[in-house]
A and B are shown apart, each in its own frame.
Chain A
């Protein structure tokens, strides 16, 4: 399928299919490039791409979570050194995340037994990718218009209080300079953990806007704190997936991570040269395209209406 003069096949022990080493390496590099350029984890792109490449969705999700650890860990380290990381807030998010991921794994197993996992994973991706992509596109187009009109392009300024600040059990977070109820913090952490285990994502694409707009966390500590939470929650998810579903493919994860680490470096360099709004519009279009591709597959009549799988519950 590739124009390369040689093709190097490798057998994935858990996905149980033979794949091309270069395709996966470049897939990891491309997503790593994008994640470096846009500052996102890339899990929400890796998992659908793996599904397009015929990796079973259960393996794509579990391995996606594993792959996210690598990029998030190196990002979190950078923020730790710069001191742009709120440990107290991050740790509370981790606790919520572990609870959410635990529930997520349970739902994952249940859906797999019911034979509905592939469908739900696709549906969740379609909903999230089209919502996030749509919002990002709208926001970046607005920003571009404003720039053209001669105004300063800025994101909406956080700072005004909202309903979140009326909730009880308030706690002070010094690094973030916020005084906020722990309820939304835990709920947010749990929601991200749940998505991490079902979708194989880090969840930064939801966490970052939620922290900025809901919790009013200053932008400079948002990324570091979010990455800190993602490292722990995806690590927890990986171990849970490995023990309950045996669906983490180390060989696949290594190929993606190696590509990702290399790609991210170049992506970050290019990202610094491009303008923010244009970058966001570009990513929005990409996210929408992946979502659309997944959506089409839900509606197209499958080649074979019948399928056969090993029964899991009764155990052989």
Chain B
């Protein structure tokens, strides 16, 4: 059996230059940022090992002076669908490691990929990042009601959550991976990990000037899985009874075939 490992459709992204005229009339902060995706769906096959997602965008009506000084910064993120998670800690009981304390979180982005023109602390203050919930350490990790034992535990597990997500490569931050290709066109390189969750992802671009947040724009992206293995996965989840019966049938058939092929009696 040959496995094809390929990304079916890599999002080819083109700058969207629309809306220029309307916004040009604004007197101050007339800069606009736009990102666009040429496709709204990415189909990945099951042998997918992860890839880079390139997002193109445009910064329009920029002040040429500020631009020459390199005082425009752009942060692009791709946020996966919100899911509920449980973080557990193992403790030792009678020498055996057992899952003990746990904290439940809700509405947590299943994946989060960030790219920025420079390292985050050089762009603006931590306070602004927190207000924007921008960056792995500034996402609001919302505990589920009754999902935690004590506030110490909540604090401890809230710092562990992004660490675990970074370790699983579901969260990533790439400094310097937003690059200007011309005075208006920029390119952001985000990570799509091998275990990227399926569902609706939202891409957002944040524009900063001299450390001041100006505006953001967003677009969405659907990630779906394709291929035989994914069809099996879907069958197991959507038609689980039939799937189970089929699994039994296959096993009986294999056992019976084995007897036919290697008949002794």
Contacts and interface: CB of A to CB of B under 8 A. Distances in A.
B47 A308 contact: no
A14 B236 contact: yes
Interface residues of B, number: 58
Centre residue among B160, B163, B243, B261 by max chain A CB count within 10 A: B243
A69 B251 contact: yes
Contacts of A241: 244
A151 interface: no
Given A74-B256, A261-B258, A311 B247 contact: no
A74 B262 CA distance: 11
Contact of A254 (B84, B230, B250): B250
Contacts of A308: 85-88, 161, 164-165, 168
B88 A306 contact: yes
B130 interface: no
A66 B247 contact: yes
- Is chain A's interface secondary structure helix, strand, loop, or mixed overall? helix
Contacts of B86: 115, 308-311
Q: Which of B95, B164, B165 has its CB near the most chain A CB atoms (within 10 A)?
A: B164
A11 B229 contact: yes
A6 B30 CA distance: 59
Nearest to B1: A10
Contact of B99 (A78, A81, A116): A116
A274 interface: no
Interface in A76-111: 77-78, 81-82
A299 B95 contact: yes
Contacts of B96: 119, 123, 298-299
A241 B46 CA distance: 23
Interface string A287-316: 000000000001111101111111100101
B39 interface: no
A239 B241 contact: yes
B104 interface: yes
Interface residues of A, number: 62
Interface in B85-121: 85-91, 95-99, 102, 104-106
B144 A311 contact: yes
Contacts of B184: none
A213 interface: no
B259 A78 contact: yes
Contacts of A14: 232-233, 236
B3 A10 contact: yes
A14 B164 CA distance: 22
Interface string A216-233: 000000000000000100
Given A14-B236, A78-B265, A250-B243, A72 B255 contact: yes
Nearest to A247: B236
A143 interface: no
Contact of B254 (A11, A82, A257): A257
Most buried by B among A10, A72, A311: A311
A81 B265 CA distance: 9
B229 A13 contact: yes
Given A238-B244, A242-B243, A71 B236 contact: no
A130 to B, nearest CB: 15
A264 B258 contact: yes
Contacts of B195: 16
B199 to A, nearest CB: 9
Contacts of A253: 247, 250-251
B257 interface: yes
Nearest to A299: B95
Contacts of B3: 8-11
A254 to B, nearest CB: 7
Interface of B: 1, 3, 46-47, 83-91, 95-99, 102, 104-106, 144, 157, 160-161, 163-165, 167-168, 195, 229-230, 232-233, 236-237, 240-241, 243-248, 250-252, 254-259, 261-262, 265
